[in-house]
Chains A and B, each alone.
Chain A
Amino acid sequence: MKPEPGTVCPPLEVTPTRVQLFRFSAVTWNSHRIHYDQEHARAEGFPDVVVQSTLHGEMFARTVLRWAGPGAALRRVEWRNRASAYAGTPLIFAATVTEVREAGDGHLVELALTGTAADGTVCSTGTVEVHVPSS
């Protein structure tokens, strides 16, 4: 694969469920109640339990690695949370190539990231750098 700036990765569409958020909290030993306790989340002003920030990071990583193919290796992932996302809300994780540099046996590719809820709310944005080997 020879990546080019402007290339858009196939988006990753995910609708996190309450069960998924509970299990992700469990495996990451994140006991913050906004992620699994609806009553507490509502008391903090959220309509439902909140998608973990690190789950956004994971989804961005998967979006890029699915596109980059076998042998690709993430070097850096950065994201900022712009708005909360909630259980049951469809999310689309998107990535667009912004820069490509030669790197020995392949390319270092930088991509811009956006996580968007079904109503158009941008929940998270960021950048990623991935090494893509020459095919």
Chain B
Amino acid sequence: MRGDPLAEVCARAARLRGRAERVRLGEVTVRDLCRYAIAVGDDEYAAAARAAAAAGRPVVAPPMFLTSILSWQDGPPEGELRPDGLGAQESPCTEGLPVRQVHGGQAVRLLAAVAAGMTIHAERSLTGADRKRGRAGDFVVLGLRTEYFDGSGTPLAVSDESVIVLGDADEA
């Protein structure tokens, strides 16, 4: 793409800002929770969760589970991923642009426990796009908010994260 890709990121963000997208993410399973725990090295959680499930007791999720999941979608076919491996859904405002991105940070508010068997819904919105100048050049900080609910609409968590978009990728 010719021109200034970061300006295009900001223009796309301006069009998306304030528009919330509500989606049904799906049901949390004991296997999801145990795989997460094993991946982060919390073997004790996985053993306790399997024992609780076998005994018919509730299995409460690790607190950071919900907001750590980047995508609940099946995802696009490999050929439709960006060169950096992300899908368009996880990479707002950057489709087709020669940019790369890194995560800037996250603020998570935990409002209620998540348990296996719950169906999770989320409302996502883009909260801001600020162009800044750093030592290595310009970048854009995208603000993304995701609010999570259970099937009855009870709020579970709110995540505000920042994604730093850099305009120096060498591949489009």
Contact = CB atoms under 8 A, between A and B. Distances in A.
Nearest to B110: A74
Interface in A31-59: 31-34, 37, 40, 43-44, 50, 52-55, 57-59
Given A58-B62, A77-B64, A24 B105 contact: no
B2 to A, nearest CB: 23
Interface residues of B, number: 37
Contact of B41 (A14, A32, A43, A74): A14
A58 B72 contact: no
B104 A81 contact: yes
B84 A33 contact: yes
Interface string A96-112: 00000000000000000
Given A29-B75, A33-B85, A40-B85, A57 B38 contact: no
Contacts of A74: 63, 110
Contacts of B72: 29
B22 interface: no
B8 interface: no
A80 B105 contact: yes
B46 to A, nearest CB: 12
A81 B41 contact: no
Contacts of A77: 63-64, 106-108, 110
B1 interface: no
Interface of B: 32, 35-36, 38-42, 62-64, 67-73, 75, 81, 84-87, 90, 100, 102-110, 113, 170
23 contacts: A20-B39, A20-B40, A26-B39, A28-B69, A29-B73, A31-B81, A31-B85, A32-B85, A34-B102, A40-B84, A43-B170, A53-B103, A54-B68, A55-B40, A57-B106, A58-B64, A65-B63, A73-B113, A75-B110, A78-B107, A81-B102, A81-B104, A84-B102
